Structure formats: structure tokens, C-alpha cells
């Protein structure tokens, strides 16, 4: 199982970026998917998560600027980031809880991270 994140880059403050993270490999179903971020010298924090049925959860301070969504047919989660601020600069990582077989154990997998840099 692999998670491949993409979409990071350099953007000016006030701009937008859309991150994607696709799961691939041999598995039954991708359950909860989530985005985390880690700024230099800081801990990893949850940005947003979304269940298989589409129920989403956000870090409070990001509500209204960030939107998480997913396409179950593509096993892909997206993070639309609008009105980006300097403090959003971080490595963004995706995580997913994956059932390898039906009704089997769920394991958490991580992508490699994608760097988002917001400039003034």
C-alpha cells in the first residue's frame, strides 16, 4: 500500500492550493483519510479528516479556509486551501486507515508529505 501526495508548492499569501493524496496497492477499502501538517520545529498537527461516508472534521482555526473532500472510486483525498497565510507554511502529510481485506484489521499508512510555502 502506498500513499502519494502532490500539489504542494510556493504560493503568495491570499492564494490557493489544492493538495491530492492517492492510495494505491492491494487493499479492500480506504476508511478515514486525513491531512496533517508539520512546520519546522513544531509538532505534527491534524488539519482535517474525512470518513468513507464523507463526514469531515477540521482543526477549528482552519474552518472556512480549508476544505477536505474525497473520491472513493479513486481512493483519493483532496485538501483545498484558500486564503493562505504565512503561518500555513509546512509539510503537509496525508494519512489513511486502510482495510487490507474485508472486515480485516485496519492499519494506518502515511504519505511522504508535500511542502507548502506561503510567501508575503
Give the residue from 23, 32, 37 showing the smallest Cα distance to 88: 37
Residue 104's pLDDT band, with cuts at 50, 70 and 90, is confident
Cα-based distances in Å from 106 to 31, 33, 77, 101, 114: 8, 12, 18, 9, 24
Q: What is the mean pLDDT of the chain?
A: 96
Instruction: Output the pLDDT for position 102.
Output: 87
Instruction: Output the pLDDT for position 85.
Output: 97
For residues 48-73, give the mean pLDDT. Answer: 97
For residues 68-78, give the mean pLDDT. Answer: 98
Which set of grid coordinates corresponds to residue 46?
491534524
Alpha carbon 4 to its chain centroid, in Å, reads 10
Amino acid at each position: 500500500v502506498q500513499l502519494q501526495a502532490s500539489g504542494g508548492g510556493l504560493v503568495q499569501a491570499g492564494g490557493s492550493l489544492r493538495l491530492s493524496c492517492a492510495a494505491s496497492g492491494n487493499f479492500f477499502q480506504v476508511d478515514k483519510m486525513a491531512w496533517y501538517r508539520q512546520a519546522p520545529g513544531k509538532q505534527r498537527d491534524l488539519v482535517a479528516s474525512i470518513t468513507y461516508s464523507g463526514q469531515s472534521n477540521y482543526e477549528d482555526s482552519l474552518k472556512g479556509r480549508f476544505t477536505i473532500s474525497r473520491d472513493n472510486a479513486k481512493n483519493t483525498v483532496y485538501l483545498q486551501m484558500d486564503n493562505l497565510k504565512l503561518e500555513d507554511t509546512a509539510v503537509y502529510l496525508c494519512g489513511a486507515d486502510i482495510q487490507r481485506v474485508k472486515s480485516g484489521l485496519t492499519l494506518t499508512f502515511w504519505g511522504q508529505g508535500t511542502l507548502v510555502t506561503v510567501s508575503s
